[in-house]
Every structure is written in structure tokens, then in C-alpha cells.
Amino acid sequence: MSTSAYPSRLPSLFVSHGSPMIALETTPAAFFLDRLGPAIERLWGRPRAVLMCSPHSPARQPLVLGAARHSAIHDFGGFPAELYQLRYDALGEPLVAQEAAELIKAAGLGGWVTETSGLDHGLWTVLRRMWPDAGVPVVPLALVPSRSPAEQWALGAALAPLAEQGVLIIGSGAATHHLGRYPWGRDASQEPVAPDVRAWQDWIAARVQERDWPALLDYRRRAPEAALQHPTDEHWLPFYIAAGAGSAGRVAGSEIVGQRLHASVDAGVLAMDAYAFGAGAAELAKELA
């Protein structure tokens, strides 16, 4: 446990949320999220707030939800009734929302605050596993899916100062997201991992370990079977917001540290990898090992 209220910088995170059923599932990815919140608390205490981005709340400009309270939105259909009965009611943090919008605006990237409330399933299903008691205030950030990986990185870098103030920045998305390949109507738990999915996971992990950020920013051309893993890239773009936030405001360079925290695959095609970036990334990985 840190002797100060907050470390010099909290790491930023990218997590894969997969299906909304992760709120109920007994999968490796779900169990990882169960351990992630407590691991962060053991090292640094509870965050002041979580600033979290999800592709399920898209916008044309960066939009920060500054409501005083939030609750779960069941923005999906066709799942078991038990899932729709789950709630997640959390406080917001309007001051952090305002600070975030000002940082984004100062970087020339737009940035607006709205009093709109609500947590889409890319947010609350993850947070419900990390902090079941909903004891950490949440500040949702809408994703701008039209912006490039480099622009997402710049957005994350603009938010980096918040990590020095006890704010945990999380990008929630999916390491792979091609739902057309999902084995609908079959027992997904019995599906073997597709070789191209494993190749993608290995390529991303290697580039992160080597700090080859230029290759990662140019993943569409350089990564193996990139279009097969992400026909559209909105679920992968939060990775770059998290990486940028872990860069302490610097441009992508070899000094920026990233660490894979988790790797698994659901239904043979949905990679559920998670990463930490910047200060504390290695320490968090060790705590989770």
C-alpha cells in the first residue's frame, strides 16, 4: 500500500468487455476483472474516480458525462432475463468531468461536458466485476469513432494529468471484435481458438513489449489479419486512449511502458486481453501474477 494518498501516477488500463454476459459469466476474463479492482486497491487505495471510455457511447466530439449519479443502461437485446435484472448505481464526479473536458479542450480536441447520466454495458459490466459495491465514482467519456488511433492517443495524452490526481483512466473495448464469426447456436465454450486470433494477440503483445508504438498506431497495415479481427475499429480504439493516457502527455516513443495483464479468448474468436500503461504497469502485472 502506498504511504501517500495517490502514487505519482496511476497506470491507465485497456480492458476487453466482450459480451454483456461478462457481468454473470465464469470465464477467465470475468475472473481477471474480479481480481483487478482489489489489486489496484492493494497497491494504491481506491481511486478518486474512474474516467472510462466505451464504444457503446459514440459521439461526434469528445463528450464527458458530468452527472452526479449514474445507473446501468441495458443497451442490448436477446440475453437471459437475469442480466436485465442487474443494476449498477454509482456516483459521478462532476469536478473530474469538468477537469477532463478542460484538458481535452486545451489540447485542441474539442471537449464538452453534459449532465447526461448513464453507464452503457461497456462500462457497468466491467465496473460491476471490479467494484461490485459501486464504491468508486464514475465519469463516462464518449468515444469519437471517426478519429484515428493517433488522434485517440492524443486524447488520452491530454487526460494524462488526471492520473496524478487519483483518477483511473480505462478504455473499455475488445481485443478482437468480429461478431460475424461468433459461433451462434453452438456451445461457445467448446470452440477452439482461431489461429489468426492467436496471431493477432501475439503481435499486439510483442509490439507492446518492444514499445513499437508506431507499428501499433499503424495496425491496419501492419498487424496480421487486422480487418478480420476488427471489421470496424471502434472496439479497438479505446486501447489508444489508454496508451496515450499512460504516456504522461508524450508522443508515442520507445520510453513509454506497456504491460499485458491478461490474455484469454471467448468463443474461439473474441480475444479478451487487457493492458496497463505507464507508471505502475509492471507493478500491477506483478500483483496480478
For 82-122, how does the pLDDT look when each residue is reduced to its tens digit (9 = 90+)?
999 999 999 999 999 999 999 999 999 999 999 999 999 99
What pLDDT does residue 254 have? Answer: 61
What are the residue ranges spanned by the domains of the chain?
Answer: 12-288
Going by the DSSP 8-state scheme, the letter that residue 194 receives in this structure is P
Q: Is 55 left (phi over 0), alpha (psi -120 to 50) or beta?
A: alpha
pTM of the predicted model over 0.85: yes
**Nearest to 239, CA basis, from 287, 189, 193, 172:** 172
**Nearest to 213, CA basis, from 183, 171, 243:** 243
Query: What would the pLDDT profile of 30-74 be if each residue is shown by its tens digit?
Result: 999 999 999 999 999 999 999 999 999 999 999 999 999 999 999
What pLDDT does residue 249 have? Answer: 62
> In a 3-state reduction of DSSP, which class is residue 276?
strand
What pLDDT does residue 250 have? Answer: 64
Q: Which residues of the chain have pLDDT under 50?
A: 1-4, 7
> CA triplet 118, 120, 125: central angle to 5 degrees?
115
* CA pair distance 192, 197, nearest whole angstrom: 11
* CA pair distance 229, 245, nearest whole angstrom: 24
CATH classification code of 12-288: 3.40.830.10
What pLDDT does residue 188 have? Answer: 67
> In a 3-state reduction of DSSP, which class is residue 112?
strand
